[in-house]
Amino acid sequence: MKILKFGGTSVANSDNIKLVKDITANQPKGKTIIVVSALGGVTDLLLTALDLASKQDISYEDYLNQIEDRHLKTAQELFSVQHQSKILSEIKSKLNELETLMEGAYLIGEHTAKLSDKVVSYGELLSSFIISEYFKQEGLEAALKSGRELIITNDNFGNAVVDFELTNTQCANFFKNDTHALTVVPGFVSSSRSGGATTLGRGGSDYTAAILAAATDAEALEIWTDVSGMFTANPKLVKQAKAMEHISYEEAMELSHFGAKVLYPPTVQPVLKKEIPISIKNTFQPEKAGTLITKSLAPEARTVRGISHIDAISLVSLEGAGMVGISGISKRLFETLSQENINVVLITQASSEHSICIGIAAKDAKVAASSLNKAFAYEISTNAIQPVKVEDGLAIIALIGDSMKNHQGLSGKMFSTLGKNNVNIRAIAQGASERNISAVINALDVKKALNTLHETFFEENIKQLNLFVMGVGNVGAKFLSQLRHQKEYLRKELKINVRVIGISNSRKMLFQENGILLDHWDKALQEGQAADLEKFIFGVNQLNLRNSIFVDITANQTVAQSYGRYLSKSVSVVTCNKIACSSDYDSYKKLKDLAKEYHAPFLFETNVGAGLPILDTLKHLIISGDKVTKIQAVLSGSLNYVFNNFDQNTTFAAVVKKAQEEGYTEPDPKIDLSGIDVMRKILILIRESGYRMELSDIANKSFLSQKSLSTKNNKDFFETLVAEEAQFQKLYKEASENNCKLKYVAEFNDGKASVGLQHIPKGHDFYHLEGSDNIILFFTQRYPVQPLIIKGAGAGADVTASGIFADIIRIANF
Ligand code: ADP
Ligand code: ASP
Ligand code: MG
């Protein structure tokens, strides 16, 4: 004997029922019981219709009509014309009964659990009738047997408990004499000892099948559904989830208890004792192996087998100094809940016994609170216990695996993974079996929590980063193009999957949760919505994706002011915009602190020396205990270019113009020539070296005249450069007469900082600095005489883009 159960989606319409028939027909010879659910969605429709009818809302008829249409259409599509009329009239007669029941509820204006059980059972009664008749039409040797006559429960309508003794006898008697090769049985439905219709709970068709399997000593139970097995996490929420090949009964029970809907929680119990194997198979991909569930397996290398979650949870807590040392409080608490038929999903008790916290379904929270307040009314009135507290909007996530108990550090890994992604944990519980660790979190964080845990425990090798890029001008476009070219390499060699989820320039913005295709991002952006900084921040927060990184490739002040709002949501920030780190010290420090507090890296390597690894090197010096005593640097690629090309044969204005045209200066070259840009850079180096300093503390001996500095536009600025050519020639002449070159140098020494032009003699490290290169000399306690030198290309869109890229890779390894 073999039991096959087909779920709601598997029998949702005529096409699917045809697949069910093919799977059934391909079974090896031998007796088979086919358990079927209602057509997918019909149970919900029935419950909604009844609810509306009992509230005397006539729109219940619309739902009833939908139910009718679904069944009639399915039958019309399945049956040949000569069979149709008999079948359709039987369906209609069942639908008429249903209508009468609904009318009753409508007239009285209420419904009981008993009526609800009766109404809802029509879903399975109709589906099993249609399917058994279709099997017969297709030449299968099938008969229909009502599950009601086989599965007997107590009279607890709405929450019936199976009487296994009676049920097993009924089943044994029936199947002993049943000669059909195939017996179709409706799932979910049962009857009480007195004959009333009862049901086995939502999702209960799985349970029907398991009860029949145990009662008939079946050799196998197959659950056919819409996914290819039990997955490492719900595949609808975690794309990377994989079907598990083989798990134990206990693991399956824990997973389903904690929300893996693919198996109704009580299902395992009846078959476990008899060691009947359960397979979970996909009706739509029957060739897939699916998941096999049997008794305990040899311990596996992987300790965590699956992650599941339960939505719509409330936390109810009972607290008070009067609880300490008093026995019987928990007993009263659980008794009260049990009297109200409230199922407790999770319990935690502080070892101080000062409080007990329980997780229950949100729908039960109100009743739980009022009944507990009543039960503890005396203690509450004497202030020994506080009135019950209820927190809503929560969910439970659980890690599950048989051999978790043999491994230390799993809960640490679980909580630090969640913490890094700003998932706040409200309560924690570990099953006594140590087969699960569960945590209560905000319901809005479920998807992120599942994905990030899945990444930690199952995809140790692949980390996904989600990027939100603001500013796609010269550098931004280069960055995206580098990313596009490197994507495969990153995935294969570094095991990093980088996706760009959001892009914005000053006009348009675009979000795509599954990642923007980098081949055509510019076209997609043009068709995006109007850019809006607030909406962008909102979009990032609302998507709430793990490992999110905000990448600022603008030079915009308002954008720089928004970093705190990302960091405080654990969104990392990578920026080439110098404004945030060179504004007042307190704002800079605040961002650094937020980054620490929320475990969200804040990286700005490109603020100094474009792609050169200057800040990263500095950081490593400092964390390894070194101390910077002096810095000397040429930090402006633009100024270096200008003074490398300026001599007696050129004019200063012409050289600056050329530098501007070749993209070596800011669009407004005065920002470079005035030295302000270099001041910002040395300030950032000083701050990152651990010193407190403001921009106004840096001395700037400008080589520009006051008149030149106070010009308001490029044209006026260039005019002053032309007018003051003699002055620039003088600067050059003085230097070359001394056999020196002119370099714009930033210095930090003895707590003081300055920037300005200097004469650099032959033999000095700065003398041969070519093109737009940068050079930094760090004098530290470890390098007191011979400094640590970093030198290389310090300007240009390509190197800046690759510097941003490097920061992102640093975050991946964080
Ligand atoms: P059926 O109607 O066939 O009984 P269900 O909807 O009850 O199907 O169960 C299948 C669904 O369970 C899947 O479509 C999936 O969304 C959900 N599910 C939740 N967790 C898991 C998991 N860990 N593995 C597989 N499916 C899961
Ligand atoms: N039809 C019932 C439900 O939707 C039972 C089942 O499908 O397992 O809950
Ligand atoms: Mg189900």
User: Is 164 domain-assigned?
Assistant: yes
CATH at residue 734: 3.30.360.10
Distance, in Å, from the CA atom of 256 to the CA atom of 268, rounded to the nearest integer, reads 10
User: Is 261 domain-assigned?
Assistant: no
Q: Is the pLDDT of residue 17 over 60?
A: yes
Closest C-alpha residue for ligand 2 atom 6: 203
Query: From the CB of 191, is ligand 2 less than 6 Å away?
Result: no
pLDDT at 447: 93
User: Is 813 domain-assigned?
Assistant: no
User: Is 209 domain-assigned?
Assistant: yes
Query: From the CB of 454, is ligand 1 less than 6 Å away?
Result: no
Residue-wise pLDDT for 218-257, tens only, equals: 999 999 999 999 999 999 999 889 999 999 999 999 999 8
Q: Which amino acid is at 339?
A: Q
Task: State in Å: Cα 613 to ligand 1 middle.
Answer: 49
Q: Which residues contact 372 (CB under 8 A, 6 or more apart)?
A: 316, 318, 333, 336, 337, 388
Strand-pair partners of 808:
none
Tell me the whole-structure pTM to 2 decimals: 0.73
Closest C-alpha residue for ligand 2 atom 5: 203
Pair (643, 740) in one structural domain: yes
Query: From the CB of 234, is ligand 1 less than 6 Å away?
Result: yes
Dihedrals φ, ψ of 739, to 5°?
60, 35
Task: State in Å: Cα 230 to ligand 2 middle.
Answer: 18
Query: From the CB of 208, is ligand 1 less than 6 Å away?
Result: no
> How many other β-carbons are positioned within 10 Å of the β-carbon of residue 533?
16
Pair (753, 651) in one structural domain: yes
Distance, in Å, from the CA atom of 64 to the CA atom of 48, rounded to the nearest integer, reads 9
Q: Which residues contact 476 (CB under 8 A, 6 or more apart)?
A: 469, 505, 553, 801
Residue-wise pLDDT for 668-684, tens only, equals: 899 999 999 999 999 99
Arithmetic mean of pLDDT over the chain = 93
Residue-wise pLDDT for 568-588, tens only, equals: 999 999 999 999 999 999 999
Query: From the CB of 205, is ligand 2 less than 6 Å away?
Result: yes
Query: From the CB of 227, is ligand 1 less than 6 Å away?
Result: yes
User: Is 366 domain-assigned?
Assistant: yes
Query: From the CB of 187, is ligand 2 less than 6 Å away?
Result: yes
- The domain in which residue 593 lies consists of 463-606
pLDDT at 566: 97
CATH at residue 199: 3.40.1160.10
Residue where a domain terminates, one of 579, 606, 633: 606
Q: Which atom of ligand 1 is nearest to the CA of 206?
A: 4
Q: Which amino acid is at 542?
A: Q
Averaged over 459-466, what is the pLDDT?
82
- What number of residues does the chain have? 814
Q: Is the pLDDT of residue 405 over 80?
A: no
Q: Is the pLDDT of residue 461 over 80?
A: no
Averaged over 478-500, what is the pLDDT?
92
Catalytic residue numbers read 681
Averaged over 787-793, what is the pLDDT?
93
- Listed in order, strand segments (DSSP E) in 606-655 are 628-634
**% pLDDT > 70, the chain:** 98
Pair (183, 319) in one structural domain: no
Query: From the CB of 203, is ligand 2 less than 6 Å away?
Result: yes
Pair (636, 581) in one structural domain: no
User: Is 162 domain-assigned?
Assistant: yes
Query: From the CB of 267, is ligand 2 less than 6 Å away?
Result: no
DSSP string, 745-788: EEEEETTEEEEEEEEEETTSTTTT--TTEEEEEEEESSSSSS-E
CATH at residue 493: 3.40.50.720
CA 617 to the chain's CA centroid: 33
Does residue 290 come out as left (phi exceeding 0), alpha (psi in the -120 to 50 range) or beta? left
Pair (691, 581) in one structural domain: no
- Kind and range of the H or E element at 732? helix 725-737
Pair (600, 694) in one structural domain: no
Q: Is the pLDDT of residue 301 over 60?
A: no
Q: Is the pLDDT of residue 494 over 90?
A: no
Task: State in Å: Cα 257 to ligand 3 middle.
Answer: 13
pLDDT at 352: 64
DSSP string, 8-62: TGGGSSHHHHHHHHHHHHTSPSS-EEEEE-PSTTHHHHHHHHHHHHHTT-TTHHH
pLDDT at 298: 65
- Residue 493 vs residues 461, 496, 753, 802: alpha-carbon distances, Å: 10, 8, 43, 18
Which of the residue ranges 82-86, 180-184, 410-414 would you say has the lowest mean pLDDT? 410-414
Pair (367, 315) in one structural domain: yes
Pair (468, 577) in one structural domain: yes
Q: Is the pLDDT of residue 25 over 60?
A: yes
Pair (700, 762) in one structural domain: yes
Q: Which atom of ligand 2 is nearest to the CA of 205?
A: 8
Q: Is the pLDDT of residue 126 over 80?
A: yes
Pair (527, 647) in one structural domain: no
Task: State in Å: Cα 664 to ligand 3 middle.
Answer: 64
Q: Is the pLDDT of residue 383 over 60?
A: yes
Task: State in Å: Cα 360 to ligand 1 middle.
Answer: 21
What three-state secondary structure class fits 624? coil
| Most distant CA pair in the chain, distance | 117
User: Is 599 domain-assigned?
Assistant: yes
Pair (738, 688) in one structural domain: yes
Tell me the residues surrounding ligand 3 (ion) with CB < 5 Å.
7, 203
Residue where a domain terminates, one of 194, 225, 256: 225
Structure tokens at 320: 């008070």
Residue-wise pLDDT for 704-758, tens only, equals: 999 999 999 999 999 999 999 999 999 999 999 999 999 999 999 999 999 999 9
Q: Which atom of ligand 1 is nearest to the CA of 255?
A: 23
pLDDT at 350: 67
Structure tokens at 10: 């598997």
- Kind and range of the H or E element at 330? helix 329-339
The more confident residue out of 699 and 346 is 699
CATH at residue 453: 3.30.2130.10
Q: Which atom of ligand 1 is nearest to the CA of 223?
A: 3
Query: From the CB of 266, is ligand 2 less than 6 Å away?
Result: no
Ligand 2, pocket-test mutation among 11, 117, 159, 205, most atoms within 8 A of CB: 205
Query: From the CB of 400, is ligand 1 less than 6 Å away?
Result: no
Task: State in Å: Cα 63 to ligand 1 middle.
Answer: 25
- Residue 725 vs residues 10, 177, 738, 774: alpha-carbon distances, Å: 84, 112, 20, 26
What is the number of domains present in the chain? 4
Task: State in Å: Cα 8 to ligand 1 middle.
Answer: 11
Q: Which atom of ligand 2 is nearest to the CA of 208?
A: 8
DSSP string, 554-596: S--HHHHTTHHHHHTTT-EEEE---HHHHS-HHHHHHHHHHHH
Dihedrals φ, ψ of 626, to 5°?
-85, 165
Q: Are 80 and 86 in contact (CB under 8 A)?
A: no
pLDDT at 6: 98
User: Is 241 domain-assigned?
Assistant: no
Distance, in Å, from the CA atom of 162 to the CA atom of 198, rounded to the nearest integer, reads 10
The more confident residue out of 408 and 80 is 80
pLDDT at 674: 95
Q: Are 677 and 568 in contact (CB under 8 A)?
A: no
Closest C-alpha residue for ligand 2 atom 8: 203
Pair (447, 539) in one structural domain: no
Distance, in Å, from the CA atom of 284 to the CA atom of 11, rounded to the nearest integer, reads 11
Q: Which atom of ligand 1 is nearest to the CA of 233?
A: 23
Q: Are 781 and 788 in contact (CB under 8 A)?
A: no
pLDDT at 300: 60
